[in-house]
Structure 1
Amino acid sequence: MLQLRLTLVTLGVEDVARSTAFYEALGLVRSPASTESASFFDVGGVVLSIYARAALARDAELDPEGEGFRGQSLAWNLGSEAEVDKAIVRMVAAGAGLVKAAERTVWGGYAGYVTDPDGHLWEVACNPGFPLGQTGRLRSSA
């Protein structure tokens, strides 16, 4: 049986160069496999792909129209509340929009939300239920 593994997340964006610059401002390094129409970043064993929204929709044979909440979020988990605050400040300085300032959560963590330049929702969190390992990857306590 094949084991499901998340290997790549593609964000459909309006301006590949603008979004590439945003993620580079956060310290990500663009892969040599990147092209003018797509950027790839290693984000700890998963690849973040930046691709034109209309082209991505065409590839999936879907209508590219529609905005608003997209029914998903990406998450950046960190080891402390102070790191969460610092990361949110860094993202906003790079061009993110602040959606919700970080605060203590009902699930015992600390989290806030920002959007990248194309409105992709990012949760920035410290979650005691998912501690970080030595490599910065999540470890499920369950």
Structure 2
Amino acid sequence: MDQRLSLITLAVADLPATRRFYVEGLGWAPSVEAPGVLMLRAGEHLLLSLWDRAEFETEVGPIMTGPGLAPLTLAHNVAEDAQVEEVRNQARAAGATEIQPAERRAWGGYSGYFADPDGFRWEIACAPGEVNDVVLP
């Protein structure tokens, strides 16, 4: 697996208020906007992905409010669906815990999730189109 991050995803309670903070307050320019999601360029090949909490929980799992998952994922994007499986296999061989098998997503890509030894969720994704255009070197 290449040593890089493609997206940092944060689950937010009020996406319109969060959008106002980053776009109007901090002056960041939206790179991708979709229902329930706002993505902002955070580096040459890095997006900060802000998700509505309900959308986040549907795809990733329950948000920790006590026991549970912290509302954060790390993503590693690849150019082809087959590479998703290659990276996931490599991660499993290194001791990652399988969280969700890779599957075709409603947003048009292909992705799956594993947890590192500390339980942090990683998404390995092929996201054809504007997301991969930004995050892939």
Give the structure with higher Rg (CA): 1
Q: Higher relative contact order by CA 8 Å / sep ≥ 6: 1 or 2?
A: 2
* Structure-2-length-normalised TM-score: 0.50
Name the one with the larger strand percent. 2
* Structure-1-length-normalised TM-score: 0.48
